[in-house]
Structure 1
Amino acid sequence: GLYRCRGGRGNPVYYTEDTSNRPVVTLYPNWSEIYRGETITVRCEIHGGDTEWDYEWETNSMIKAPNQNEYRIRSASSSNSGNYRCKGRMKSSQHETTEWSDSVTLTVSDNEPRPVLTVSPSWLSPGASVTLNCEVEHASAGWSFYWYKAVPDLSEKSSSYELLPDGSGTAQDSYIIHGQTHTAGYVCRAGRGDPEYHTDHSQPKFVWSAGQLVSVLSPDRVQHFTSDSVSLTCEGNFTEWRVRKFSEDGRLYSDCRRMTGSTCDINTSKSDTAVSAVNITVQNDGNGPILVSPVHPVTEGASVSLSCSLRTQQILSNVFFYHNDKLIQNDPRGELKISAVSKSDEGFYKCQYSGRESAQSWMSVKHISLLNHQLSILLFASCRAT
């Protein structure tokens, strides 16, 4: 038969639980949240002895578990969410049962996880390394990562994705691209489980590079007011030009509306946040300020000034300046001066005036050693040509 023991002490007597084979419910994999479509196994384990058991489940989920020691859910949905507990009944003596196990909660989310890709740096010094980072909710819970290059199809105004070398199912949530020289877009996605469940692709993120071209923006600032006129001029030894407008997520919108030689004239609108070798951000708040910041990366060691402007007034005073959302200056000058820029000055900047904030813009810093390296390559190429 089935034997048990327990211990007690004190007055009144305090008893331990007896040594019956109390079952334990486990989830495999044991993730805090399961997404719709994933495979999950709910298992009832009874430790000790060689007894053969029949199993009974109790759950408040909409779908009842079969009377087996293992309940495999091949495509989970929110109807599987609930508390699960089990007990065992001896096959040789049906009246002998274990106690109920403790309950385990299974949570299945109908939300589809969407990975978020970040690229650093977002503005490229040709030849530098680019780091991609892919983040998913509960990223530590078993995800592996897939890395792709977004290849624009200009005729279809869309992109196709090509797997990067060794970019299939990496354990690390980061991927480094060495020697990047041109503008390129990237996406990532994540997978986990057996069979493997895949997330959707992330929104594309682009690393922007002027390459051999120089793009001059007039007025020379990143942020603009609605209805401003902006001119983008491409400089380089080419006879034909094409300027295209992309959204921040890399979607192609259109060619330049009015092209005169190598200059594209743009009337900014409320929806314009465009990138075409330079970033353009439009202030939607007609009474709010804009941050006046450099369009192109600042060379390490150089000086730079940031200021705040309204549509009706060029330079303001009593302005708050923020770097990566941290207040760094508030004084009557209304100008943020950095006498010798370092890599630590790179990041997002914004200004605040009379309780209204500008949009934030990224200021990129070029490493001077990389510039010297590029110059030495040019000199070497010139000597070879000579």
Structure 2
Amino acid sequence: MTEWSDAFTLIVYDNKPRPVLTVSPSWLSPGASVTLNCEVEHPSAGWRFYWYKTVPDLSHNSYSYELLPGSSSGTEQDSYIVHGQTHTAGYVCRAGRGDRVYYTQYSEPSLSGLGGEFIFVLSLIIPCFSDLHPAASLTVNPDRVQHFTSDSVSLSCEGNSAEWRLKRFTDKDLLDCSEWGTITGSTCNIHRLQEGDAVYWCESQSGEFSNAVNITGQTKDIILVSPVHPVTKGDPVTLGCKLTTTELDSNVFFYHNDKLIQNDTRQELNISAVSKSDEGFYKCECSGKESRQSWVAVKSLESSFPVPVLGGLLSGIVMIILLFLLCHYKKAK
């Protein structure tokens, strides 16, 4: 007589690793080369790496991925160089190995600081701050980093596209404007800010990404008034201090990288022409209350001609002048 044991169900989970995508350098200028690195947990031999550009799919609130040149069969190197980066772009990576290719998941979201603004890796959004003609831009009204949570804030997307999606990323979630604000055309209106830090940007169906901005919702009674976007070297900038309920009726203290730089009845800190040394963290203090600190970034105004092009242009002009002088000399003889 044959005896059988009780039946049971065996569930096998396919625990695919998820690589992490990083970028260098973190601060970009037009035409710069960008190096992407794809890191797999517990790396071993045999992995090939696949590199993609992200394209927003507004109708499905998702992203599609387009393979970058030269990576259709994967690369043995875990790094990939994007040459001549001129506009904001999004990227992801994944790895695969074996004859019947076993793929990892796509790289997961991560966040790292970038001169007061941020790189978002989901998509890796790279704000090219010194690009004189960005594909798209995000404006904030009122134009400041810190806001009281009771404030109303408007964020507007501007660019060539007729349709935009405005995204918000925090340490907890990635959401559309429709989930935390109201949309009017290409503007998202927030009637009550979430407490804490969040990164906002715009993206279009055609694959354009705007600059990313950091906005902080504060429950404190005091905030620092500082610009959302980097300030161009040589331009003036004004920082302020703001209380929720009362006017500023005592001395206002302004700090740069925790060093006191102004202490008097003036309610604003005016810098007539900012330089790179003015870049850093600022905060203010008044009536025994201290604001959070915010980063003020300073950028250089780049030439609209890449250096090689400008050099070639100057060389051409010099050659024309020399030829003209030579012809004039021969004619005189």
The normalised TM-score by structure 1 is 0.49
What letter matches 1:363 in structure 2?
A
Task: Select which of 50, 56, 69 maps to 1:152.
Answer: 56
Whole-angstrom distance in 1 between the partners of 2:43 and 2:294: 27
CA contact (8 A) 2:24 2:36 kept: yes
CA contact (8 A) 1:123 1:297 kept: no
Whole-angstrom distance in 1 between the partners of 2:283 and 2:19: 30
What letter matches 2:184 in structure 1?
M
Tell me which residue corresponds to 1:223: 146
What letter matches 1:248 in structure 2?
F
Secondary structure of the 1:294 match is coil
Task: Select which of 184, 187, 202 maps to 1:259.
Answer: 184
Whole-angstrom distance in 2 between the partners of 1:121 and 1:294: 24
CA shift, 1:156, in A, is 0.4
Structure 1 residues 198 and 258, CA, compared in 2 at 3 Å: closer, same or farther? closer
Whole-angstrom distance in 2 between the partners of 1:211 and 1:185: 15
1:189 aligns with 2:123: no
Structure 1 residues 362 and 317, CA, compared in 2 at 3 Å: closer, same or farther? closer
What letter matches 2:166 in structure 1?
K
Structure 1 residues 215 and 246, CA, compared in 2 at 3 Å: closer, same or farther? closer
1:179 aligns with 2:84: yes
CA contact (8 A) 1:113 1:137 kept: yes
Larger displacement relative to structure 2 (294-303 or 308-317) = 308-317
Tell me which residue corresponds to 2:262: 333
Whole-angstrom distance in 1 between the partners of 2:278 and 2:42: 31
Whole-angstrom distance in 1 between the partners of 2:97 and 2:291: 41
What letter matches 1:333 in structure 2?
Q
Q: Percent of pairs identical after alignment?
A: 46
User: Which structure 1 residue ranges, 5 or more long, are not aligned?
Assistant: 1-75, 78-109, 322-327, 381-386
Q: CA RMSD in A?
A: 5.0
CA shift, 1:221, in A, is 1.9
CA contact (8 A) 2:253 2:284 kept: no
Which structure exhibits the higher relative contact order, with contacts defined as CA atoms closer than 8 Å and separated by 6 or more residues?
Answer: 2
Counterparts of residues 332-351 of structure 1 (less than 5 Å): 333=262, 340-342=274-276, 349=281, 351=283
CA shift, 1:179, in A, is 3.0
Structure 1 residues 119 and 336, CA, compared in 2 at 3 Å: closer, same or farther? farther
What do the CA deviations read for 1:145-191 (whole angstroms, capped 9, x no partner)? 32211111110001122221123543444433233344422112245
Whole-angstrom distance in 2 between the partners of 1:241 and 1:115: 34
CA contact (8 A) 1:289 1:356 kept: yes
1:270 aligns with 2:194: yes
Structure 1 residues 192 and 312, CA, compared in 2 at 3 Å: closer, same or farther? farther
Counterparts of residues 97-246 of structure 1 (less than 5 Å): 113-119=17-23, 127-137=31-41, 144-167=48-71, 169-191=74-96, 198-202=103-107, 203=109, 204=122, 205-208=124-127, 211=134, 215-233=138-156, 241-246=162-167
Structure 1 residues 243 and 194, CA, compared in 2 at 3 Å: closer, same or farther? closer
What do the CA deviations read for 1:14-72 (whole angstroms, capped 9, x no partner)? xxxxxxxxxxxxxxxxxxxxxxxxxxxxxxxxxxxxxxxxxxxxxxxxxxxxxxxxxxx
Tell me which residue corresponds to 2:229: 296
Secondary structure of the 1:247 match is strand
Whole-angstrom distance in 1 between the partners of 2:16 and 2:293: 30
Whole-angstrom distance in 1 between the partners of 2:234 and 2:299: 9
Structure 1 residues 314 and 365, CA, compared in 2 at 3 Å: closer, same or farther? farther
What letter matches 1:257 in structure 2?
T
Task: Select which of 286, 306, 320 maps to 2:219.
Answer: 286
Secondary structure of the 2:262 match is coil
What letter matches 1:156 in structure 2?
H
Counterparts of residues 67-106 of structure 1 (less than 5 Å): none
User: Which structure 2 residue ranges, 5 or more long, are not aligned?
Assistant: 1-11, 110-121, 203-209, 264-268, 314-333
